[in-house]
Chains A and B, each alone.
Chain A
Amino acid sequence: MAHPSQLGFQDATSPVMEELLHFHDHTLMIVFLISTLVLYIIIAMVTTKLTNKFILDSQEIEIIWTLLPAMILILIALPSLRILYLMDEISNSHLTIKTIGHQWYWSYEYTDYENITFDSYMTPTQDLMPGQFRLLETDHRMVVPMESPTRILVSADDVLHSWAVPSLGIKMDAVPGRLNQTAFIVSRPGVYYGQCSEICGANHSFMPIVVEAVPLKYFEDWSSLMLQDA
């Protein structure tokens, strides 16, 4: 999860998010260099004593400040397109989970083998145990096996919602009457938090998402337990 006053991304938990972090670092360095160049030019303009009121045209600098931005944009666009197509690759998912947005909670359905269905409500602040996170914890977590391609089908029951988990690099709109598909692989075990990312009413800020990635054996134990409780 994010720590207080965090500005940067959370640590990556999926290969796609790792790629996005690398791309962000690459683009940020380019932006930093452009900002430094602009700052230097401003200082140079302000401190120069040279003035020429009769400049008409200057082919060389016009060529430079046309070609250079074009090259910079290509340098940014190529990795960007690479990641865009990487995110759209079709993977053979081992598990499909349906995520339905409601006002104001998420429900999850694991229907590949048996029928496991549960709702995930935010844990109220007064019910939190010591060490739990305010406005982020839920009563039931979405458990997924780690290192296993997982497909998520996102939809909504009433109004627009959005299912987002920053450390997985996922954000997918939940639209009533529509199934949106996304896929991910969780690289390491852990608990990953997200929040609804489309305004959906009074409690939009109070319907978080919690993904718990566990080894396959524990996932099987958990699903057996869920079936018994059903």
Chain B
Amino acid sequence: MAEEDEGSPNKGFKLLGILDVQRIPCSREAILHGAGGSLAAGMLYFLATSRVRRSFDVGFAGFMITTLGSWFYCRISNAKLRVQQRFLQEGIKNKVVYEGTVLDPTKKPKPEAPSAPP
């Protein structure tokens, strides 16, 4: 049940009161990457142009793009891992069920014995 994971007194940290970065997979990494990307984009633009206000705008755009990119990359990787996990579980189950039978995937086919001469 959910409360068995709530043993620690930590109630989670919610950005803007909605996004629980501690519980949602990939969210913490996405926000941190976004913060880094935002800082980098803003600083680079400012160093290039010395425009303060526009640098903030560029920084914010960098935050959005980096966060989204990191989020989708992480989520797609996790989805691929989950699919692989399901295949593995199915394979382990099949191995246990078919072990010792004709359908055992690990069983090597015996070489056919040469037929006796007439």
The CA-CA distance from A2 to B25 in the complex, in Å, is 20
Q: A25-B25, A40-B60 are in contact. Are A33 and B2 (CB under 8 A)?
A: no
Which of B43-51, B67-75, B107-115 is the interface stretch? Answer: B67-75
A8 / chain B contacts, CB cutoff of 8 Å: 20, 23
Q: Is A128 an interface residue (CB 8 A)?
A: no
The number of residues on chain B lying at the interface, defined by a beta carbon within 8 Å of a beta carbon of chain A, is: 27
Is B60's CB under 8 angstroms from A3's CB? no
A37 / chain B contacts, CB cutoff of 8 Å: 60, 64
Is A28's CB under 8 angstroms from B19's CB? yes
Q: Is A26 an interface residue (CB 8 A)?
A: yes
The CA-CA distance from A17 to B15 in the complex, in Å, is 24
Interface residues of A (CB under 8 A from B): 1-3, 6, 8-11, 22, 25-26, 28-29, 31-33, 35-37, 39-40, 44, 48, 167, 190-192
Could you list 17 A-B pairs, sorted by A, with CB under 8 Å? Answer: A1-B3, A2-B2, A6-B2, A8-B23, A25-B24, A28-B19, A29-B27, A29-B71, A33-B64, A35-B16, A35-B18, A36-B16, A37-B60, A37-B64, A40-B60, A44-B57, A190-B1
Starting from the known contacts A8-B20, A192-B1, 5 additional A-B residue pairs (CB-CB under 8 Å) come to A9-B2, A25-B24, A40-B60, A48-B53, A191-B1
